[in-house]
Chain A
Amino acid sequence: MPPKLERQAMPAQDARKRRKNFNEVALGYTEELALAEAKRCLGCKNSKCRQGCPVDIDIKVFIEVIRKKDYAGALRIIKEKNNLPAICGRVCPQETQCEEYCILSKKDKPVAIGRLERFVADWVIDKKIKEEIPQAVIKKNKKVAVIGSGPAGLTCAADLSKLGYAVTVFEGLHASGGVLRYGIPEFRLPKHILDIEVDFIQKLGVNIALNIVVGKTKTVEDLRQEGFEAFFVGTGAGLPYFLEIPGENLNGVYSANEFLTRVNLMKAYKFPEYDTPVVIGNKACVIGAGNVAMDSARAALRLGAEEVTIVYRRSVKEMPARIEEIEHAKEEGIKFHLLTAPLRILGDKFGRVKALICIKNKLGEPDASGRRRPVPIAGSEFELLSETVICAIGQGPNPLLLSTLPDLKLNKRGNVVVDHNLMTSIPGVFAGGDIVTGAATVIEAMGAGKHAAEKIDSYLKNKQFP
């Protein structure tokens, strides 16, 4: 037996320091760490890791190439499948994807595939290595419109462009990236990394048209008139859910979408250098325990809140956020009130939040989601003083575009219904990502974008599917 090689830890900014700044928390592997980690890969003959990758990266081979210190070569292998490696290396939940399939995870910790992916992507960026831009061999004289520039849209656009289509991505906001831009904070995904990867996609030939709200500025019909023959709808989960409890319109109650958009897209953390404000106060509560909730809580802390509390109605086991994010939040001093449900929000005479009234829960029988249902404990109400309440309880499909397409079939949750070719009820209109599945992960959206690109290609070739 060869000596056991330890999984290399990710260097990170010190928790006491980072809770005061918006700089990136996870610092990335050094070359030494990356080589040591790559060495752990057994290079299994029948490697399973690839099965866990929604975009089908040849993981074993790229790690092999890292071991030969050919980092640019390793990145080329990743980029055959994934155009956003520096992003995925940072935000993918590898622990439930590729790394879950790693044979080492049976007895030990899996190879840190995500950290290696990030390492090679960052290496090429940091060393300013000029990348070859794959050019489509044959230009197809056909236009495809991608609606939404989030992970699903960007992936679909990049793949179609590589196949030779003339692709335009329409984005409603003034900057591209969708949730990668407005949702994920700088300390988890620096925006210059996003800019570099979007720039690469543009170099593939993709045209990104900002400030175009499809359904308002232009309709799908207008785009058909302009010669677009196929459409990919990747408009994401852009409708914030509220708690529907009394006091929700008090000043100081934000949807996580509003709070994070102010902070990330509008750079409110740089107010007054940037004009957009955000008010946080001394105490803030975040309702929910997914990744969006963790991002909101940690951003609130960095904006100067002295005490930030996560309020979640179920127990630690059911928290949907990545373990790594929960750990990071705890290290930074975020408090957790688990098995706690908000009942109402109290305000002062100016209409500002002053407290959140909660009730304690216990876990009952499993519900439809398979998770144990939280049951309120009578008489356990208590008050949490707070000046800010951020609702991070999920997002639904934004109906703005969908409502302009009366023939588009939606399910009862308002998500777009697609067939196995990812085509909607309107011929030539495809959809993928959160708008179809409901809020999920970046990489799953990318997987859908990739899949849709293949199907759009077959549709445009012969108006039918193999």
Chain B
Amino acid sequence: MPHKIIRNERLNSNVCRLEIEAIDISEKALPGQFIILRVDEQGERIPLTLLRTCQKAKTVEIIVQEVGTTTLKLCALRSGDEIKDMIGPLGVPTEIENYGRAICIGGGVGIAEIFPVARALKDAGNEVVSIIGARNKDFLILEREMRDVSNQLHITTDDGSHGRRGFVSDVLRELLAWGKIDIVFAVGPIPMMKVISDVTRPAKIKTIVSLNSIMVDGTGMCGSCRVTVGDKVKFVCVDGPDFDAHLVDFTELSKRQARFLENEKVSLEKYKGEHKPCHQN
């Protein structure tokens, strides 16, 4: 059954926020879970973390960054358009409980993925300290939403155009020096998650990262998304996407993310050749 686009709002030059009709998924989804979608008949199946769901409107919201053919196709959709297939909610929901003082870190579009976790942690009674960061002011998304669900919000940009200049890990190091931290949740680019993991390891602070690896079916059938965690091979789609950051082999993960880089370029060139850029908003 096709899924109707209710709204597509462009947040910056390459990030969109889509609200999509999804009756069954909206009833079931919990923080940390994701969907897999296929835009059209020729489309690839890609996983995307859910930003939020609305049970009343029976919709889900996702944040999409234009990086490849599928994400470009998604961002080009307008309200009333349809995407062909969507399944979910997939993956194990994030373990939400009252940990005490929880740090929620989001980098780039990872902010979209940390948002539902921060909100649920706040609702569960945690003191939520959030750190969000991006390249510059324009790429920092969901600041207002994050402020609403955090007891304290820290902002960093690489160029200092908003918040403080630097990285989210800089703030984390300072927080670490200041006082007790019970748990850290971090979502963002692989190098960021690796640095966060290195920062919290000596202090033995439980750190959970949400991984986004290459998937096909998303139900544990193909093993495309496999990742080494400790001495075990895990499937991100069914065993994750949340894992203990201190056990994840980030080096292997980042190599595996480049598996189809050449093909992705070919596909993107072809798509761009057929569609002229569409950045009106």
* A→B interface (CB under 8 Å): 172-174, 182, 210-213, 216-218, 238-240, 242, 248-249, 251-252, 254-255, 257-258, 261-262, 265-267, 271-277, 279, 350-351, 398-400
Contacts and interface: CB of A to CB of B under 8 A. Distances in A.
Contact of A398 (B42, B85, B220, B260): B220
Nearest to B251: A351
A242 B94 CA distance: 28
Contact of A249 (B217, B221, B228, B270): B228
- Output the residue of B44, B70, B85, B88 with the most chain A CB within 10 A: B44
Contacts of B267: 271-272, 275, 277
A398 B44 contact: no
B219 A251 contact: no
Given A211-B86, A218-B24, A272 B270 contact: yes
Contact of B222 (A217, A258, A267, A275): A258
Contacts of A257: 221-223
Interface string B250-267: 001001101110111011
A272 B267 CA distance: 6
B221 A174 contact: no
A275 B216 contact: no
Report the contact-size class of chain B (Cβ under 8 Å from the partner). 35 or more
Given A261-B221, A261-B222, A272-B266, A217 B28 contact: yes
B233 A248 contact: yes
A277 B219 contact: no
B238 A261 contact: no
Contact of A238 (B1, B25, B220): B220
Given A249-B226, A274-B42, A261 B260 contact: no
Contacts of A267: 42
A351 B256 contact: yes
Contacts of A400: 219-220, 238
Contacts of A251: 255-256, 258-259
16 contacts: A210-B85, A211-B1, A211-B86, A216-B90, A249-B227, A249-B228, A258-B223, A262-B216, A267-B42, A272-B266, A274-B42, A275-B44, A276-B216, A279-B262, A351-B252, A398-B220
Interface in B197-246: 216-217, 219-224, 226-228, 233, 238
A63 to B, nearest CB: 39
A266 B222 CA distance: 13
Contacts of B80: none
A411 B221 CA distance: 20
B98 interface: no
B222 A240 contact: yes
A398 B263 contact: no
Nearest to B266: A272
Given A242-B233, A279-B262, 13 more contacts: A174-B38, A213-B87, A213-B219, A238-B219, A254-B224, A258-B224, A272-B263, A272-B266, A275-B267, A277-B266, A351-B255, A351-B258, A399-B238
B220 A399 contact: yes
Contacts of A240: 221-223
A276 B45 contact: yes
Contacts of A279: 259-260, 262-263
B88 A216 contact: yes
Contacts of B266: 271-272, 277
Interface string B181-199: 0000000000000000000
B256 A249 contact: yes
A189 to B, nearest CB: 19
Q: What 8 pairs between A and B have smallest CB-CB spacing?
A: A277-B263, A351-B255, A258-B222, A174-B85, A275-B44, A238-B221, A255-B223, A276-B44
Contacts of B233: 242, 248-249
B260 A277 contact: yes
B24 A217 contact: yes
Contacts of A238: 219-221
Contacts of A273: 42
B221 A212 contact: no
A251 B213 CA distance: 13
Nearest to A270: B42
Interface string B76-110: 00000000111111100000000000000000000
B255 to A, nearest CB: 3
A266 B214 CA distance: 14
B69 interface: yes
B43 interface: yes
Contacts of A239: 220-221
A398 B222 contact: no
B223 A242 contact: yes
B220 A212 contact: no
A248 B266 CA distance: 27
A213 B90 contact: yes
Contacts of B226: 249
A192 to B, nearest CB: 15
Contacts of B84: 174
Contacts of B90: 213, 216
A399 B239 CA distance: 11
Contact of A217 (B25, B45, B217, B224): B25
